Amino acid sequence: MSIVVPKVSIMEVSPPRVGEDWPSLVRGEVYLDLETLPMNARREWAKVRQDDVVFLVSVKLRDKEMNGDGEDYATSLGVRYVRSAVIAQVLDEEGRALRPGQEELDGRYLVPRRRTLRLFLDAKQWKEDNALAVAGKIEDVYDSINIVVRRKSEVFYRRVEVTLGK
């Protein structure tokens, strides 16, 4: 399941821990406008919870047709960057935090119109992207992200991501 977003805002970059080269925390925020989605998609996005993994994708379509001259499939579709993030917090339309276990008590979960996701971004990858953007070799990756993709929540994937990050 995916949704088009305006951009990812970087809200906080914490200094590195002792002996590390990358920030200890990179926190971002993305705004989801669910109003134009069909009801079943809105219900699916209402199931997004803390610690779910989402993928941030930058897609830019080209003007001319490509003949497939040695180009991989993702590039031919216009996919430029894919980054992962972990949801730190889900906010409702008024900016109030949604907590697990409130679903039955609170109507804010049923059919949302807007959501804000606070994300923990991959700090190592953010440092690499930022260094290349400052050097002028690439554009700002996080400003160019225009799609958020959500997978069904799987504990296995989260464990693999945590293991690879350490």
One digit per residue, the tens of pLDDT, for the chain of length 166 reads 889 998 889 999 999 899 888 899 999 999 998 888 888 888 888 888 888 899 999 998 876 655 556 677 777 788 889 999 999 999 888 888 877 665 554 454 556 778 899 999 999 999 999 999 999 898 889 999 999 998 776 555 555 555 555 4
User: Which has the closest alpha carbon to 151: 57, 15, 21?
Assistant: 57
- Cβ distance 39 to 111 under 8 Å? yes
pTM equals: 0.80
- Cα–Cα distance for residue pair 136/32, rounded to 1 Å: 30
